[in-house]
Amino acid sequence: MTAGRPPALAPAGRPHPATLHPFASPDYRPPDADDVRAVFLMLGKTEAAIALLVGVQPRAARAWVASPTAKTRKPITYAAWRLLLIAAKLIKPSQL
């Protein structure tokens, strides 16, 4: 986040704008479960279909959207996140 600017709020049903930045950007922040869930909903796909899209087991996709207190909760990998953003047309492939 850049000093002097208030944090940007995510519009309802969309991931936080800071999650769309490239990893090396000082404005980047990793997505949380709500961000991942928002992209799942934008894509209109099941967790199993999302898992197939990014090449993981369905349980991994479930873990990304699990409650932060759930024992099964795991953060989404950066590579999987970027693929989802491309699929949802939130970023262009050239923005990898």
Summarize pLDDT for 49-83 with one digit per residue, the tens.
999 999 999 999 999 999 889 999 999 999 999 99
Do the domain assignments include residue 23? no
Host domain of residue 78: 30-95
Structure confidence at residue 13 as a pLDDT band (50, 70, 90):
confident
Do the domain assignments include residue 8? no
Do the domain assignments include residue 91? yes
pTM for the complete prediction? 0.84
Do the domain assignments include residue 74? yes
Q: How many domains does the chain have?
A: 1
Is the Cα torsion angle 31, 35, 37, 41 positive or negative in sign?
negative
CATH of the domain at 57: 1.10.260
Do the domain assignments include residue 77? yes
Structure confidence at residue 4 as a pLDDT band (50, 70, 90):
very low
pLDDT of amino acid 1 = 43
Do the domain assignments include residue 16? no
